[in-house]
């Protein structure tokens, strides 16, 4: 997939990558307080728009990257940090929880300060998110792990592995579903801190189902 726009913004994306080495310094991003009840889901089996079986998927990293929180307000991913991993380790698909923490709106990403198990299922229109077909998008940015991903004032760490997200020049952050080439980009194979151009289906929670991709130098 060739794109003249991809070539035009290449220099800008490279500069953004260098600047991100000073991760968290002078970031324009700021989290907001989060306190909602919802249900933990497995992101690889949740969306019906994914026409591939999650049962056949060999997940490359069984961290919190495979979990999301669904509330009445949306779908939210968890930043892959040791803090989140520890708090969420005993939750499973379908767990009802109250989550208190911080939300980075630019990536629908959560840092959890406290989690409480609940028995009463909240009133959530699951079909609204589960059956959302998403939309086809073309996105350009840099494939970053938390060594340089700008998550504002959220705690960040690559202790769970160098797990990647797409960060655009506008500061939006997107997350890879580990189907087909999405897994390679999640792991940063041949794309670690490189500019990329992706054609993908964008699903709730900033999740991407990658169909085509191009990696710059």
- Read off the pLDDT of residues 36-59 as tens digits, 9 standing for 90 and up: 999 999 999 999 998 776 667 778
Residue of 9 and 199 predicted with greater confidence: 199
Residue-averaged pLDDT of the chain: 88
The first and second tokens of residue 44, run together, are 């690889």
With 80 as the cut, is the pLDDT of residue 1 above it? no
With 50 as the cut, is the pLDDT of residue 5 above it? no
What are the residue ranges of CATH 2.40.50 in the chain? 4-27+133-215, 34-128
Confidence band (pLDDT; 50, 70, 90) for 26?
low
Q: What is the CA radius of gyration of the chain?
A: 17
Sign of the dihedral through C-alpha 153, 193, 159, 100: positive
Distance CA(123)–CA(182), nearest Å, equals: 32
- What does the pLDDT read at residue 123? 87
CATH C-level class of 4-27+133-215 = mainly beta
Query: 68-121, pLDDT tens digit by residue?
Result: 999 999 999 999 999 999 999 999 999 999 999 999 999 999 999 999 999 988
Residue of 10 and 136 predicted with greater confidence: 136
Instruction: Provide the pairing of β-strand 207-215 with 165-168.
Output: unpaired
Distance CA(39)–CA(94), nearest Å, equals: 6
What are the φ and ψ backbone dihedral angles of 8, each rounded to 5 degrees? Answer: -65, -40
Distance CA(39)–CA(194), nearest Å, equals: 35
What is the pTM (predicted TM-score) of this model? 0.86
User: 34-128 is classed in which CATH architecture?
Assistant: Beta Barrel (2.40)
Can you tell me whether residue 181 is helix, strand or coil?
Answer: helix
């Amino acid at each position: 997939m060739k794109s003249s726009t991809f070539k035009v913004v290449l220099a800008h994306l490279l500069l953004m990558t260098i600047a991100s080495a000073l991760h968290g310094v002078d970031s324009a991003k700021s989290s907001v307080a989060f306190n909602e009840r919802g249900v933990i889901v497995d992101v690889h089996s949740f969306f019906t728009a994914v026409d591939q079986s999650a049962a056949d998927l060999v997940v490359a990293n069984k961290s919190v990257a495979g979990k999301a929180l669904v509330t009445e307000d949306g779908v939210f991913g968890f930043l892959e940090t040791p803090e989140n991993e520890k708090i969420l380790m005993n939750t499973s698909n379908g767990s009802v929880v109250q989550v208190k923490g911080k939300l980075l709106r630019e990536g629908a990403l959560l840092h959890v300060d406290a989690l409480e198990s609940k028995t009463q299922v909240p009133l959530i229109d699951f079909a609204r998110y589960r059956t959302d077909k998403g939309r086809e998008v073309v996105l350009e940015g840099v494939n970053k792990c938390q060594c340089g991903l700008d998550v504002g004032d959220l705690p960040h760490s690559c202790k769970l592995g160098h797990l990647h997200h797409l960060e655009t020049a506008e500061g939006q952050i997107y997350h890879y579903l580990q189907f087909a080439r999405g897994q390679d980009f999640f792991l940063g194979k041949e794309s670690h801190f490189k500019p990329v151009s992706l054609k993908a289906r964008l699903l709730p929670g900033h999740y991407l189902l990658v169909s085509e991709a191009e990696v710059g130098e």
